[in-house]
Amino acid sequence: MIIYESTKEQFVGDVVNELLVDRLYNSYQQKIGRTSKAEIRSWENSLQKMSNVMQDDEIPKDAAVAIEFNIPNTSKRVDFLIAGNDGAQDHVVIVELKQWDEVEKVPTRDGVVRSYVGKGMRELVHPSYQAWSYAALI
């Protein structure tokens, strides 16, 4: 299941025209049935930044964008996917978005960082490791 899918051009347009969060909310409500205020805030913050990144001219206008892709047979969701074909091969980029202000290395544990989340410092999976594990599942 995918909550939102479009081309790069449509995604950037939806962000610029302030339509994206409403579209995400409506789709999420329809497909899952519940959305938290924290999730909506994260969309507002992170996806504006992704729109800025996606405006790079080297990313084709017709590149596919998917938001909140539920990996089949798991409870895992990929925040943001970019997909396309270079004429010979399909490619997908997995982006795991975080709302962290600061992050600390945890020297004794591979793939783990420490950040302030939920009113306290917590050890969390590094977003790069998280994206890698999603790619392995997909």
Residue 12 tokens read as: 């950037």
pLDDT at 35: 79
pLDDT at 76: 94
Domain span at residue 14 reads: 2-97
The answer as to whether 81 is a domain residue is yes
Task: Tell me how many domains the chain contains.
Answer: 1
The answer as to whether 108 is a domain residue is no
CA distance 10 to 85: 18
The answer as to whether 57 is a domain residue is yes
pLDDT at 9: 97
CA distance 75 to 126: 18
The answer as to whether 110 is a domain residue is no
The answer as to whether 112 is a domain residue is no
Which residues in the chain show pLDDT less than 70? none
pTM: 0.89
The answer as to whether 123 is a domain residue is no
